[in-house]
Amino acid sequence: EVGDTDYDLIVIGAGPGGYVCALRAAQLGMKVACVEKRDRLGGTCLNIGCIPSKALLQSSESFHETQKGLADHGIIVENVRLDLDRMHARKREVVDANTRGIEFLFKKNGVAWLKGFGRVTAPHTVEVDNKSFRAKHVVVATGSDSISLPGITIDEKRIVSSTGALELDAVPKHLVVIGGGVIGLELGSVWRRLGAEVTVVEFLDRLVPGIDGEVAKTFERTLSKQGLKFRLGHKVTGVEATDQGAIVTVEKAKNGATETIEADIVLVAIGRRAVSEGIGLKEVGAELDPKGRVKVDAHYRTNIPGLYAIGDVIDGPMLAHKAEEEGVALAELLAGQAGHVNYGVIPAVIYTWPEVAGIGKIEEDLKAEGVAYKVGKFPFSANGRARAMNATDGFVKILSDARTDRLLGAHIIGPEAGTLIAELATALEFGASAEDVARVCHAHPTLSEAVKEAALAADGRALHV
């Protein structure tokens, strides 16, 4: 059957990349459809990623603070109890409100939702559940999926991915997390705060490869104080499901010594993979890279005319805001404008307590590149507001060019790090120097004064340390 509808643009996938691309293209006057197989819009991020995980991080933090933190403020709360069903219900309400919001935005902007599984059948042609649609431009925004280890089957009950870890119906006694990356530490934190014993097994000898090494060290220390246990330099070689849970076999990277750990739940969080198979790409001849990501040029064009790709399914950090920026840039390029993403200025945030945020270069990069740089650091323990909040763990670290003082990177571990990094993103985007940031008046007493002080420290003239 051939549908009679022709579009300027068909986007496959309604995650942050796809739905934002569709909205921006519609704003620019294109006739747009977006194919989504889930019964809700918003993709991984809104349904099983960013939003439900942040809902649980918020709830679990409130629980933990009420149980353990309020006494320091002189607030005595007794018999604090957990209603996990309600906590999950609130999370679902948050997700529902967000996904319905995207449906509303599609209607408002005239974007058609083609419900079903989309496949590229020929250049400019997309088939959705046996119906064919033609479009001038087709964008693949099919996102990513979690991966598992060879021989380990994820049943989402005992051996779970992030999706199952967001839905556990009881607090595990012992949660073993495979992978000390972003998902492992965020979701490990959730269940730790709710009372689980949590052991994180990480192959490398540090947490979260890719973030500033000094920040990673402080992060490990702070999480350890919260009771998370780490087996760094260990890889998981097997997980065997049992009646009560699972037995995890780990091997020390250095000498191959093995041991087993008993768990009632195992979270596999060792990365995600592009969703590029089964959607007709190979058949039409679109090139993939060795990791299965769709190959695109700087304007998101594949090697097939009229076929583009954005978001987690292409190279780059697997982040919602990166996918969104690409969605906007591509829609603008298709409309003949000059859409562009500055890949050097994409913030990354880990929403634990304390939060971790980074942007631009890390010291390890600068050393490897032989760039002469200055470091300005300021601890939250010297910030009045952080003291008032009882949140003095962490620091702000600013890296600037030794000769020109131009900002090169910024890394924060501490309260509200994810919000504080926005100022430094703006500064980096505008090519500011550390002195530019230092000369801006920051309100007192705010956490943002730690950013100003770190910028002053780059010139050896912080005032409060």
- Catalogue the active-site residues: 444
Residue 463 DSSP label: S
How many residues appear in the chain?
A: 465
Q: Are 173 and 343 in contact (CB under 8 A)?
A: no
> Which one among 43, 181, 245, 339 touches ligand NAI, defined by CB under 6 A?
181
CA 22 to centroid of chain Cα atoms: 22
- In sequence order, the 6+-apart residues with CB closer than 8 A to the CB of 441 are none
Is 431 a residue that touches ligand NAI (CB under 6 A)? no
Residues 125-144 binding ligand FAD (CB under 6 A) are 141-144
Per-residue binding string, ligand NAI, 1-30, x by CB under 6 A, is ------------------------------
- Name the residue whose CB lies closest to ligand FAD: 143
Q: Where are the alpha helices (DSSP H) in 110-251?
A: 162-165, 182-193, 213-225
Binding residue for ligand FAD, selected from 10, 175, 281, 323, defined by CB under 6 A? 323
Listed in sequence order, the DSSP H helices in 36-181 are 43-48, 50-64, 84-109, 162-165
15 binds, among ligand FAD, ligand NAI, none (CB under 5 to 8 A by kind): ligand FAD
Q: What is the distance between the alpha carbons of residues 45 and 50, in angstroms, rounded to a whole number?
A: 5
Q: Where do we find the tokens 């705060």?
A: 193
* Distance separating alpha carbons of residues 292 and 429, to the nearest angstrom: 31
Element (H, E) at 23: helix 16-27
- Which residue number, 184 or 360, has a Cβ lying nearer to ligand NAI? 184
Assess 182 for contact with ligand NAI (CB under 6 A).
yes
Q: Helices 16-27 and 320-334 sit at what angle, rounded to 10 degrees?
A: 30
Cα separation of the two ends of the chain: 72
Distance CA 441, CA 42 (A): 38
> Which residue's CB is nearer to ligand FAD, number 228 or number 279?
279
Give the bridge partners for 433, in sequence order.
406
The CB-of-228 to ligand FAD minimum distance in angstroms stands at 17
149 binds, among ligand NAI, ligand FAD, none (CB under 5 to 8 A by kind): ligand NAI
- Please report how close the Cβ of residue 68 comes to ligand FAD at its closest, in angstroms: 25
Q: Out of 223, 266, 320, 366, point to the residue binding ligand FAD (CB under 6 A).
A: 320
List binders of ligand NAI among 58-97 (CB under 6 A): none
Instruction: Please give the residue ranges that form the binding site for ligand NAI (CB under 6 A).
Output: 149, 178-184, 186, 201-204, 209, 235-236, 269-272, 317-319, 349-351
What does the binding site for ligand FAD look like in residue numbers (CB under 6 A)?
Answer: 12-18, 35-38, 43-45, 49-50, 53, 117-118, 141-144, 162, 183, 275, 279, 311-312, 318-321, 323, 351
